[in-house]
């Protein structure tokens, strides 16, 4: 089938003694549920922009939570920024760690809880005990990076879906992280809002290590310099540059990222490929 499986272990892209993230045999099982990750081996170098692809249920969101130290591996080992993530998840040095690694959830309402956008963006820096001028400078910079300075005094519930996504990212940027973890950032956005956000994420890649979980195959070449594909067995199926991964139709079908339908045309049947950008149903008349 020609599955692309280059070396999964990428050397650090900076002078760091080890990569940003190093996973060896990482597993995770939610209590009373099936395995969420079935043994992941992966290195992510500093400065990389990773697109994490996989079908629903392949473990993308769980992997992001592990990288953020929200949860600890059930098995195997995970080091992030020179720290043992199991210790971080238990509270050891977690405050310092979360200043450097920021997770933006798929649902921005989880992260937007204050009276105004500015209050949300200022929340993190205020917890650092910074003075007013430093907090304001960080907020201004984060809002400018997301091109939403004009929304600073708006209530989050007044924002559009795309504006909420950008505000949620700004609330993480104000902490000055080295790493951004983005969970389905373009989900449920209209086309214009989607491409505005994609362009902003591209810019962030100049200064951050970014891991983006997505179903949206058409944004991958713009936001990533490496693609990691998770299988339905919740392991790394393949890793490589976007143009190689996205051209491997057999791989994409195996990972359930595209599928083939049989359509009838004048009595003949032939296959069409469709990208999986969410749950959908096709109806075809007789």
Q: How many CB atoms lie within 10 A of CB 114?
A: 15
Number of structural domains found in the chain: 1
Query: Does 1 map to a domain?
Result: no
Q: Is residue 286 part of a domain?
A: no
Residue 233 is assigned to a structural domain of this protein: yes
Question: Domain residues for 267?
Answer: 21-275
* Burial classification of residue 269, based on how many CB atoms lie within 10 Å of its CB (0-12 exposed, 13-18 middle, 19 or more buried): exposed
Lowest mean pLDDT among 12-26, 151-165, 210-224, 248-262: 12-26
Helix ranges (H only) for the chain are 60-67, 85-89, 94-100, 117-127, 132-145, 161-173, 191-204, 220-223, 242-247, 249-254
Look at residue 98 and tell me if it is in a domain: yes
CA-to-CA dists, residue 116 to 147, 154, 158, 172, 231, angstroms: 16, 5, 10, 15, 40
Q: What is the DSSP string of 224-286?
A: -SEEEEE-TTSSEEEEE-HHHHHH-HHHHHHTTSEEEEEEEETTEEEEEEEE-SS--------
CATH number for position 148: 3.40.50.300
Residue 112: inside a domain, yes or no?
yes
Res 4: pLDDT: 42
> pLDDT for 117-157, tens place per residue?
999 999 999 999 999 999 999 999 999 999 999 999 999 99
Q: Which residues pair with 228 in a beta bridge?
A: 52, 239
Report if residue 284 sits inside a domain: no
The pLDDT > 70 percentage for the chain reads 85
Q: For all residues of the chain together, what is the average pLDDT?
A: 88
Angstrom distance (rounded) from CA 248 to CA 6: 13
pLDDT tens, position by position, 169-225: 999 999 999 999 999 999 999 999 999 999 999 999 999 999 999 999 999 999 999
Establish if 15 belongs to a structural domain.
Answer: no
| pTM for this model (two decimals) | 0.86
What is the pLDDT, as a whole number, of residue 11?
A: 42
CA distance to 125, 187, 193, 194, per residue, from 198 (Å): 26, 12, 9, 6
Burial status of residue 13 (CB atoms within 10 A of its CB: 0-12, 13-18, 19 or more): middle
Residue 12 forms part of a structural domain = no
């Amino acid at each position: 089938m020609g599955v692309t499986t280059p070396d999964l272990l990428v050397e650090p892209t900076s002078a760091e003694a080890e990569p940003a993230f190093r996973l060896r045999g990482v597993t995770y099982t939610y209590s009373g549920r099936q395995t969420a990750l079935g043994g992941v081996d992966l290195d992510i170098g500093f400065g990389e922009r990773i697109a994490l692809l996989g079908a629903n249920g392949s473990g993308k969101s769980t992997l992001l939570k592990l990288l953020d130290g929200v949860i600890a591996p059930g098995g195997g080992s995970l080091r992030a920024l020179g720290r043992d993530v199991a210790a971080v998840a238990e509270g050891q040095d977690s405050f310092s760690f979360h200043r450097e690694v920021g997770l933006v959830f798929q649902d921005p309402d989880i992260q937007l809880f204050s009276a105004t956008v500015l209050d949300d963006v200022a929340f993190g820096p205020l917890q650092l005990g910074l003075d007013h001028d430093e907090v304001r400078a960080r907020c201004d910079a984060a809002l400018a990076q997301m091109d939403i300075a004009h929304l600073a005094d708006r209530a989050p519930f007044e924002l559009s879906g795309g504006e909420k996504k950008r505000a949620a990212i700004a609330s993480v940027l104000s902490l000055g992280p080295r790493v951004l973890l983005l969970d389905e950032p373009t989900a449920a956005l209209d086309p214009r809002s989607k491409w505005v956000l994609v362009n902003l994420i591209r810019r962030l890649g100049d200064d951050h290590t970014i891991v983006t979980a997505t179903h949206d195959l058409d944004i991958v070449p713009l936001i990533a310099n490496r693609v990691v594909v998770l299988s339905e067995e919740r392991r790394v199926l393949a890793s490589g540059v976007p143009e190689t991964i996205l051209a491997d139709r057999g791989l994409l079908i195996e990972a359930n990222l595209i599928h083939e339908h049989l359509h009838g045309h004048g009595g003949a049947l032939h296959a069409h490929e469709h990208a999986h950008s969410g749950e959908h149903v096709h109806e075809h008349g007789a």
